Amino acid sequence: MGVHRAREGGRGRRSRARSRDRVTRAREASPNVVPMRRPRLSESYEPPSASGADVVLGCGNFGTAKLMRRRATGELVAIKYIERGEKIDENVKRELVNHCLLRHPNIVRFIECALTEKHLAIAMEYASGGELFDRVLRSPNGRFTEGEARYFFQQLISGVAYCHAKGVAHRDLKLENALLDGGAVPRLKICDFGYSKNAFIDSDPKSTVGTPAYIAPEVLERKAYDGKTADVWSCGVTLFVMLCGRYPFEDRRRPKDFRSTITKIRNCDYAVPPGVVLSEGCMDLIQRIFVVDPARRIDMVGIQAHPWFLTDLPLELVAVHDEDLEPSISMTMDEILAIVEEAKVVHSEGAEQREFDHDMVTSGEFDDDDLDDA
Catalytic (active-site) positions: 172
Distances (CA, A) of 7 to 3, 89, 198, 374: 6, 38, 23, 46
Q: Which residues of 137-169 are buried (b: 16+ CB within 10 A; e: fewer)?
A: eeeeeebbebeebbbbbbbbbbbbbbbbbbbbb
The C-alpha atoms of residue 188 and residue 204 are separated, in whole angstroms, by 28
Tally of CB atoms within 10 A around 51: 7
Measured in whole angstroms, how far is the alpha carbon of residue 33 from the centre of its chain?
Answer: 31
The answer to whether the beta carbons of residues 155 and 187 sit under 8 Å apart is yes
Measured in whole angstroms, how far is the alpha carbon of residue 151 from the centre of its chain?
Answer: 18
The C-alpha atoms of residue 350 and residue 291 are separated, in whole angstroms, by 55
Long-range contacts formed by 284-287: CB under 8 A, 24+ apart:
284/308, 285/239, 285/309, 286/236, 286/239, 286/240
The answer to whether the beta carbons of residues 116 and 122 sit under 8 Å apart is no
Q: Which residues contact 197 (CB under 8 A, 6 or more apart)?
A: 94, 98, 168, 169, 171, 205, 227
Three-state SS for 287-303 is HHHCCCCCCCCCCHHHH
CB neighbour class for 37 (10 Å; exposed up to 12, middle 13-18, buried from 19): exposed
Considering only CA atoms, which of 119, 66, 111, 67 is closest in space to residue 92?
A: 119
Strands of the chain (E only): list them.
Answer: 45-46, 56-59, 63-70, 76-83, 110-115, 119-125, 130-131, 168-169, 178-180, 188-190, 197-198
